[in-house]
Amino acid sequence: MQMKQRLELRKLLLPELRQSLKILALPLPDLKDLVQQELTDNPFLEESQANMTPSKVSSNSLSPAAARGLEREAIKDQELDFRLNLITKKASLQDVLLRQLGIFTNTDEELKIGQEIIGNIDDNGYLKISIDEISHSLGVSVDKVENVLRIIQKFEPPGVAARSVAECLLIQLELANDNDPLTKKIIQYHLDDVAKKNFSYIARRLKEPLENIQSCVKKILRLDPKPGRNYAYEEAHNIIPDVIIDFGDEDEPQVYINNEDIPALNINRDYREMLKNADLNPSEKEYLKTKLRNALELLRAISKRQSTLRKVVEAILEVQYEAVSEDLSRLKPLTFKDIASKIGMHESTVCRVVMNKYVQTPQGIIALKDFFPSHLYNEDGQAISSNFAKRRIKELIDAEDKRHPLSDEDIAGVLLKETGLKVARRTVAKYREELKLPSSSFRKER
């Protein structure tokens, strides 16, 4: 074992710089949480009187004790809001089914079997376990499990607890008292052909007129193949824009930094005066100095965040003016490096500003990162936004002859001929899937 000395240069970030970079990267809701936490933890910070509503404060300065009282009241209000949100939370599919189970079962054994079945129904409403597995797990006969399953399959939503798409649709027909044998045959044996719009083939196989097949298909398409999806619980995610771009009555856009619900902060004078007290012992004085330094760093970091965010958004707006004012499909190729060189900042700083932040525009609320689309190059080496390619792909598919739809390779050929844009077939397929457009075999009408 040897001891060696090594000389190296290391780049270390100062604590205040780390704080600034952290706050720069925060989206608005997280910044709000941070400010509220700092107001609670740091006695030097207080909410500006101009930012408080008259109903909550008087015109006199608040003492630290009074400020803490206001914070306790705010916490109580937040807890009340949380409890109300729990009360009004949307019922899950399992909740809905268990309520019905309690009404329609007659014995404890049926209730137990029903609970096992419901516990194995997925978010789309399908039973994801076999009858034999439930029978073995509970130690009951297969017949008993099937009887309870038939009861559950009559519950709302129609089609729930099916084991296949065909069974799901047949249950819905039965509950609607539709006993048309032709529709049932198509569901049992030709669902894939319905998806491919291969109606002529179905007519030949079932020896029925094409008009009858098309009439049955219309009924099938009105059924819901995923009966549980309307009950799938999704946590509400409210997007709050960090920036607002407003055109007002003029064509010249205005950029506003959204500070709604972010308290305006001041340094508390009482605690600042306390630092001058000669009777303070060294540890108390050091504690207060640290808290004052942290408070000042926070104020500087928030101010820096606002100015940097404004610079970045204004630079983006210069490039993407047409997309913001008219149509997002007009987005131009843009990179973080482009914006960084435009405003004289490092590329990583632009990345921190852009990530997880949103901007409100006349076209709606948009993620800042969406203003940086990927780009392709035509034969002349000119950069073209991938959004342009996607828009043209959609236009071509909308205008195609549905009896002879364009393949992905055909679309790539049209793009090359029209714009000189060399796009691989798999890239066309990728963009088509992002647009939620089916492949040519599924678009073909037969």
The domain that holds 417 is classified in CATH as 1.10.10.60
Indicate whether 133 and 210 sit together in one domain: yes
Query: Is 13 part of a structural domain of the chain?
Result: no
Model confidence at 64: pLDDT above 60: no
Indicate whether 101 and 224 sit together in one domain: yes
CATH of the domain at 141: 1.10.10.1330
Indicate whether 327 and 436 sit together in one domain: no
pLDDT the model gives residue 82: 44
Query: Is 83 part of a structural domain of the chain?
Result: no
Cβ-based burial of 307 (10 A; exposed 0-12, middle 13-18, buried ≥19): exposed
Cβ-contact 217, 210 below 8 angstroms: no
Cβ-contact 110, 117 below 8 angstroms: no
Nearest to 363 by CA among 253, 259, 250: 253
Indicate whether 312 and 362 sit together in one domain: yes
Query: Is 43 part of a structural domain of the chain?
Result: no
pLDDT the model gives residue 11: 44
Over residues 218-262, the pLDDT tens digits come to 999 889 898 988 776 544 456 788 999 888 766 688 888 888 778
Q: Which of 32-46, 373-387, 392-406 has the lowest average pLDDT?
A: 373-387
- The CA–CA distances, whole Å, from 212 to 170, 188, 207, 381 equal 18, 16, 10, 55
Query: Is 325 part of a structural domain of the chain?
Result: yes
CA-to-CA distance for 331 and 333, rounded, in angstroms? 7
Indicate whether 421 and 394 sit together in one domain: yes
The number of domains in the chain is 3
Query: Is 333 part of a structural domain of the chain?
Result: yes
Indicate whether 255 and 194 sit together in one domain: no
Instruction: Count Cβ neighbours within 10 Å for each residue of 321-335 and write b for 16 or more, e otherwise.
Output: eebbbeebebbbbbe
Indicate whether 227 and 119 sit together in one domain: yes
Element containing residue 256 per DSSP (H, E): strand 254-257
Instruction: Count Cβ neighbours within 10 Å for each residue of 419-430 and write b for 16 or more, e otherwise.
Output: bebebeeebbbe
- Last-in-domain residue among 324, 341, 371: 371
| Cβ contacts of 316 within 8 Å, gap of 6 or more | 334, 339, 368, 371
Cβ-contact 396, 411 below 8 angstroms: yes
DSSP-assigned states of every residue in 375-398: EEEBTTS-EEEHHHHHHHHHHHHH
**Structure-block tokens of residue 81:** 């809001």
Model confidence at 390: pLDDT above 70: yes
pLDDT the model gives residue 16: 63
Indicate whether 367 and 390 sit together in one domain: no
- The order of strands in the sheet holding 243-246 is 254-257, 243-246, 358-361, 364-367
Residues 374, 380, 381, 384, Cα dihedral to 10°: -20
Query: Is 37 part of a structural domain of the chain?
Result: no
**What's the whole-number mean pLDDT along residues 376-391?**
69
Q: Distance between the two ends of the chain, CA-based, in angstroms?
A: 80
Q: pLDDT tier at 374 (50, 70, 90 boundaries)?
A: low
Over residues 87-134, the pLDDT tens digits come to 444 567 888 898 888 888 888 899 999 998 998 898 889 998 889 888
User: What is the domain extent for residue 285?
Assistant: 243-371
Query: Is 86 part of a structural domain of the chain?
Result: no
Indicate whether 99 and 206 sit together in one domain: yes
Indicate whether 306 and 362 sit together in one domain: yes
Model confidence at 304: pLDDT above 80: yes
CA-to-CA distance for 27 and 242, rounded, in angstroms? 7
Indicate whether 172 and 277 sit together in one domain: no
Mean pLDDT, the chain, whole residue set: 80
CA-to-CA distance for 335 and 339, rounded, in angstroms? 7
Query: Is 164 part of a structural domain of the chain?
Result: yes
Indicate whether 148 and 275 sit together in one domain: no
